């Protein structure tokens, strides 16, 4: 299973405990995580479905650069960390 | 010469002047225009102002005498057409001047200036801002791709410490990119952020020097080996080329942006704490300045004369400065309030309550 975590600062606004989901593309992984708590989706992705500007996603500690398509493969047993980027102030 | 303070704000550059013990505030220079930084050069009496016009870009001006003259703004070297560079978070990293975030004198030559900018480039002028040279060695750091925006979309240099004993020795604070040091005037740089800790990264990268967010650096002029750092998630101190040590002394909070170092006493420094990260307001609505007098072993809370209820003032990176006497402080907030601190901050006095949001305060003399 893939472990998906969300930023601790987001917990103030919406419940988003870590969830375990199946592997696939990053988008499939995130959508599977959002299925547990649908409200989280709008906090992480923008209207066009791209990663919000001031969030950063790491897959096994490596930054995701394809922020719009989220098409990269996420291996089973990987860890996906959604973090608040400091660029947002 | 009367004592003066530069105040760079969202709506212009103000000057506060002391005459016979009374303080008076000037009308703003560049009225209505955001001023990100001011700098006075006592070598020739020049005053510099960095403007952020928004619609019309970043501009630099110099006043020598009574008239302001526009200077050429630093210009970034461009990538080949069609190529896109990305910062560490994967966001686009355009090479276009976004902000002059720091401006310091280079004592090696009359009119020498260092200019730290967003998006992360360092520039040097040897002719009082008449021309600028991009510092390519810093930009060529192979780990620069790990730098990321801190407070802005792209990385930036907010602190430039020139060693008064050896002006070839310069230390930069980069949000987010660590602490870069040259000992040969900018030909070679090394990231000396070892010991800083990034709580906002995955655990395996918490001590990666290239992702550190030092919010502000300040050095003791009389003992420049002692450098203080208000970091995104803590306060740190460093001596010479040793690793940074985290200051864990009890405090109302150790999150903040500004710090100031005593000009002579290496063990004295000031910080302005705020409720951490996601709130960025004074803890419990009460504005506090922290002072350590023992190298960071303990903090004293300084509150006298500062608002102790309903305060939402945040003090930005450059919003705190200590005068050369080591006893008089100036502090300006995002709410447009300006305070003068006496006796090392034991007693504060509000000098203005309705200024535009304050980006920087800086003693001239």
Interface test with B, best of A55, A85, A88 (most B CBs within 10 A): A85
pLDDT more than 70, % of chain B: 100
Measured over the CA atoms of residue B188, residue B194, residue B200 and residue B204, the dihedral's sign is positive
- The span from the CA of A29 to the CA of B222, in Å, is 56
Query: What DSSP character marks residue B235?
Result: E
pLDDT digits (tens, 9 = 90+) for B15-36: 999 998 899 999 999 999 999 9
B190 half-sphere exposure, CB direction, 13 A CA radius: 7
Average pLDDT, chain B: 96
Neighboring chain B residues of A67 at a CB cutoff of 8 Å? 90-91
pLDDT digits (tens, 9 = 90+) for A9-34: 898 889 999 999 999 999 999 999 99
Select from B2, B31, B29, B34 the least CA-distant residue to B15.
B29
In which band, very low, low, confident or very high, does the pLDDT at B56 lie, cut at 50, 70 and 90? confident
In order of their start, the domains of chain B are 4-76+88-363 (2.130.10.10)
Q: Assess: ipTM above 0.85.
A: no
Measure Cα distances from B33 to B16, B335, B358 in Å. 18, 17, 12
The predicted pLDDT at position A89 comes to 67
Asked if B284 contacts B327 with a C-beta cutoff of 8 angstroms, the reply is: no
Do the strands B320-322 and B245-247 form a parallel or antiparallel pair, or are they unpaired?
A: unpaired
Closest partner residue to A67 (CB to CB) among B90, B151, B213 is B90
The CA distance from B231 to the nearest CA of chain A, in Å, is 12
B344 half-sphere exposure, CB direction, 13 A CA radius: 15
- Chain A's closest residue to B89, CA to CA, is A56
The predicted pLDDT at position B285 comes to 97
CB contact under 8 A, A85 and B89: yes
In order of their start, the domains of chain A are 2-76 (3.10.20.30)
Those residues with Cβ within 8 angstroms of residue B273's Cβ, 6 or more apart along the chain or in another chain: B251, B252, B253, B254, B255, B256, B282, B283, B288, B290
pLDDT at residue B310 greater than cutoff 90: yes
Mean of the pLDDT values across residues B176-204? 96
The CA distance from B341 to the nearest CA of chain A, in Å, is 28
Length of chain B: 365
Closest partner residue to A85 (CB to CB) among B149, B204, B278 is B149
Those residues with Cβ within 8 angstroms of residue B217's Cβ, 6 or more apart along the chain or in another chain: B159, B161, B171, B173, B179, B227, B228, B229, B259
pLDDT at residue B315 greater than cutoff 70: yes
Mean of the pLDDT values across residues B68-80? 95
In terms of C-beta density within 10 A (0-12 exposed, 13-18 middle, 19 or more buried), how is residue A77 classed?
A: exposed
- The span from the CA of B38 to the CA of B26, in Å, is 15
The CA distance from B152 to the nearest CA of chain A, in Å, is 5
Lowest mean pLDDT among B186-190, B266-270, B277-281, B325-329: B277-281
pLDDT digits (tens, 9 = 90+) for B99-156: 999 999 999 999 999 999 999 999 999 999 999 999 999 999 999 999 999 989 999 9
Neighboring chain B residues of A87 at a CB cutoff of 8 Å? 87, 89, 91, 148-154
- Chain B's closest residue to A88, CA to CA, is B151
Mean of the pLDDT values across residues B272-276? 94
In which band, very low, low, confident or very high, does the pLDDT at B365 lie, cut at 50, 70 and 90? low
Asked if B140 contacts B77 with a C-beta cutoff of 8 angstroms, the reply is: no
Closest partner residue to B89 (CB to CB) among A81, A87, A89 is A87
The predicted pLDDT at position B278 comes to 80
- The span from the CA of B214 to the CA of B230, in Å, is 6
Regions of chain A with pLDDT less than 70: 89
Asked if B162 contacts B104 with a C-beta cutoff of 8 angstroms, the reply is: yes
Mean of the pLDDT values across residues B187-205? 95
The predicted pLDDT at position B276 comes to 87
């Amino acid at each position: 299973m893939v472990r998906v975590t969300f930023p601790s600062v987001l917990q103030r606004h919406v419940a988003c405990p870590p969830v375990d989901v199946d592997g696939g593309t990053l988008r499939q992984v995130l959508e599977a995580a959002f299925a547990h708590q649908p409200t989280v989706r709008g906090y992480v992705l923008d209207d066009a479905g791209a990663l919000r500007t001031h969030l950063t996603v790491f897959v096994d500690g490596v930054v995701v650069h394809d922020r719009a398509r989220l098409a990269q493969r996420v291996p089973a047993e990987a860890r996906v960390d959604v973090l608040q980027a400091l660029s947002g102030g | 010469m009367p004592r003066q303070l530069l105040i760079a704000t969202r709506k212009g550059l103000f000057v506060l002047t002391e005459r016979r013990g009374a303080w008076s505030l000037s009308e703003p220079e560049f009225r209505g225009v955001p001023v990100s930084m001011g700098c006075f050069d006592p070598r020739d009496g020049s005053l510099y102002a960095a403007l952020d016009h928004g619609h019309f870009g970043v501009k630099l001006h110099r006043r020598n005498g009574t008239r302001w003259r526009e200077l050429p703004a630093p210009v970034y070297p461009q990538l080949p057409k069609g190529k896109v560079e990305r910062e560490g978070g994967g966001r686009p990293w355009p090479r276009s001047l976004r902000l002059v975030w720091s401006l310091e004198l280079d004592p090696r030559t009359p009119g020498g200036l260092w200019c730290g900018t967003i998006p992360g480039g360092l520039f040097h002028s040897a002719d009082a801002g008449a021309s600028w040279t991009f510092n390519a060695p810093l930009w060529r750091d192979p780990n620069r791709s790990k730098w990321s925006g801190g407070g802005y979309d792209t990385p930036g240099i907010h602190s430039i410490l020139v060693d008064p004993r050896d002006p070839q020795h310069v230390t930069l604070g980069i949000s987010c990119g660590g602490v870069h040091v040259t000992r040969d005037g900018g030909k070679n740089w090394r990231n000396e952020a070892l010991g800083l800790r990034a709580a906002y990264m995955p655990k395996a990268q918490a001590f990666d020097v290239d992702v550190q967010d030092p919010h502000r650096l300040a050095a003791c002029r009389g003992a420049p080996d002692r450098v203080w750092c208000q970091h995104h998630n803590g306060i740190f101190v460093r001596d010479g080329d040793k690793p940074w040590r985290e200051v864990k002394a009890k405090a109302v909070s150790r999150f903040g942006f500004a710090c100031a170092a005593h000009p002579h006493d290496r063990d004295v420094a000031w910080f302005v704490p705020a409720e951490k990260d996601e709130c960025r307001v004074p803890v419990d609505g009460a504005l506090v300045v922290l002072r350590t007098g023992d190298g960071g072993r303990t903090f004293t809370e300084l509150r006298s004369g500062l608002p102790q209820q309903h305060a939402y003032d945040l003090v930005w990176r450059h919003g705190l400065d200590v005068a050369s006497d080591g006893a008089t402080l100036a502090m300006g907030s995002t709410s447009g309030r300006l305070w003068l601190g006496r006796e090392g901050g034991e007693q504060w006095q509000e000098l203005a309550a309705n200024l535009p949001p304050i980006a920087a305060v800086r003693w001239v003399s």
